[in-house]
Structure 1
Amino acid sequence: MFDFSRNITILFDHSKWDYSQLTDPNGFQWKVGITPFSNIQIVIGSWIMYFVVIIRLKIYMKNQRNPFTLRLVVATHNLFLCILSAIMFGYSVIDLFNRWLERGIGECFCTSDESSLKGRLFYITYIYYLSKFIELIDTVILVLKKKEIIFLHWYHHSIVILMVWSWLQDANMYASMGMIANTFIHIFMYYYYFVAVLGRSVWFKVNIFIYIYIVTVFIYSIYSILYIKNSKLSRSHVNN
């Protein structure tokens, strides 16, 4: 007979999770199966749950005559993510800048020193990873308010979890800049949503920051490719 509870436990095995990593920024080191929520099954499971919940909610709301206002819930959600984004952005900038000063700009892109692939910068990336699960609530709110959800919204919220998981799994140093750019935009984006739900206006246009983000990521991506390519060429010349 199929033991549902036992198989779910195996699928989401958390028996070896080291919860002390949640409160130890300086000693943090990503280890799949050891770091809480690091199992790839968690990512896949979150996708399944995300799509099932959203589809079921959409069916329910189709028969619901009036959308929910959720003013307090939405305001709290957006304010929390705004503050969290600001904290992640601030610490990431400080730690990446210190890494640059101590090890050189090359260490902001890649490193061969495995002993440096731990600590607060990677802990912040881990918190950033966890925040992507919280951001799934964005979609729930939209559905409950009977707002249209485009495919890009679904795709972005689901795939970004796997993307950040891969950053941690592969210890990608250059991903830190992506996190910095994204959290910077999210500070203003979630602040805008927070203020908007309170019925107030803001002094800036969110679209401007989105454009800045896109341009910044594009420039950084090109620079990263050229830097890594140049580094490989330099190493090949040295070896020859």
Structure 2
Amino acid sequence: MLREAIASVSKFHGYIISNVDARVKDYPLMQSPLQMTGILVAYVMFSVYIGPRMMANRKPYGLHRAMIVYNLCMVLLNAYIVYEFMMSGWATTFTWRCDLIDPSSSPQALRMVRVAWLFYFSKYIELLDTVFFVLRKKQSQITFLHVFHHSFMPWSWWWGVTLTPAGGMGSFHALVNAAVHVTMYTYYGLSAAGPRFQKYLWWKKHMTAIQLIQFILISVHISQYYFMDKCDYQYPMWIHLIWMYGIFFFFLFSNFWVQAYIKGNRLPVGDHKPKQNGLISEHVTNMANGKPHENGYAHHYANDKIILGKVKKI
């Protein structure tokens, strides 16, 4: 039985390797799913077990300068990703409707392959969000949803980049997500820079709205597929998965919006300091990656100050 199972897994692994797109097979972390799976398993172990025990008897690190540099680098990286997505099709030859997967080796297709891989690779860089939490002993922010999202995103994107690196209309959600990351990491970087930059953060109350707009754009765009007379997109499965992703997270964020801003389930004023991968807690890397508030944490705005606490009716 065990021998048969091992043989089946080995056969499946060989099948996957044989179907890796030739244009991306030489990129880092694309040779086998075992590489990226190993990294992500190590990430999960560090986040929930090794890291917290390593820091148990240590003082939390400040890391303020590191976080400023990190957030600035993430702004620049995501801005570059947006630009490359636009120039490799979305601002040049795409119709924004039924744009098919390009299997060719044209300069534009190869450019899309490169930026698709870069977007995928950026998800590994974002694992540093969690590392900052661990080193600063903000373990309450490392929830199941946080760890699952950060590990599942690069894992799932490996399959997309492996099979369809020049994904046509299936790459729109990556373009939008990278654009949102530019906004979010700009906010977090300014927040980390200190109180003197608070006057430039007047748009902090619109963070949830930005996320809702993201999911609306993704859902509306991908929904076109279901109303077209004909669209021969080569991997319809990606269409269905992207649509479910957009709808699922739209409802999660809509629920938060209703609870926090319509029903008024706000927070009591307290003495808590703002946090994010060192900064504002609503980040918890979730707003930047399309996730709702975790563990019931949310913002409360009092006298233009952001306070962290548990959501409850008052």
TM-score of the alignment, normalized to the shorter chain, above 0.5: yes
Unpaired runs of at least 5, structure 1: 1-27, 233-240
Are 1:122 and 2:123 an aligned pair?
Answer: no
Match of 1:61 among 47, 55, 60: 55
**Structure with the bigger percentage of helix:** 1
Cα distance between partner residues in 2 of 1:175 and 1:111: 8
Are 1:144 and 2:135 an aligned pair?
Answer: yes
Aligned-pair RMSD on alpha carbons? 2.2
| TM-score in terms of structure 1 length | 0.74
1:70 positional shift = 0.4
Cα distance between partner residues in 2 of 1:181 and 1:187: 10
1:120-199 matches, cutoff 5 A? 120-147=111-138, 148=140, 149-171=142-164, 172-199=167-194
1:31-46 matches, cutoff 5 A? 31=25, 34-38=26-30, 39-46=32-39
Cα distance between partner residues in 2 of 1:220 and 1:76: 34
Structure 1 residue aligned with 2:292: none
Cα distance between partner residues in 1 of 2:231 and 2:111: 26
Residues 81-138 of structure 1 show CA distances to partners (whole Å, capped at 9, x for unaligned) of 11100111122123222122xxx55662x24754458311111111111111111111
Cα distance between partner residues in 2 of 1:127 and 1:46: 17
- 1:112–1:74 Cα change, 3 Å: closer
Structure 1 residue aligned with 2:211: 210
Work out whether residues 169 and 222 of structure 2, in 8 Å CA contact, stay in contact via their aligned partners in 1. no
Work out whether residues 78 and 191 of structure 1, in 8 Å CA contact, stay in contact via their aligned partners in 2. yes
Match of 2:81 among 67, 78, 88: 88
1:198 positional shift = 1.2
1:29 positional shift = 2.1
Structure 2 residue aligned with 1:15: none
Residues 176-197 of structure 1 show CA distances to partners (whole Å, capped at 9, x for unaligned) of 2011111011001111111111
Work out whether residues 68 and 193 of structure 2, in 8 Å CA contact, stay in contact via their aligned partners in 1. yes
Work out whether residues 30 and 118 of structure 1, in 8 Å CA contact, stay in contact via their aligned partners in 2. no
Number of residues paired by the alignment?
A: 197
Cα distance between partner residues in 2 of 1:112 and 1:196: 41
Cα distance between partner residues in 2 of 1:105 and 1:213: 16
Work out whether residues 126 and 150 of structure 2, in 8 Å CA contact, stay in contact via their aligned partners in 1. yes
- Give 2:54's aligned amino acid: Y
1:23-38 matches, cutoff 5 A? 29-31=23-25, 34-38=26-30
What SS does the aligned partner of 1:29 have?
A: coil
More off after superposition, 88-97 vs 77-86: 88-97
Cα distance between partner residues in 2 of 1:51 and 1:113: 35
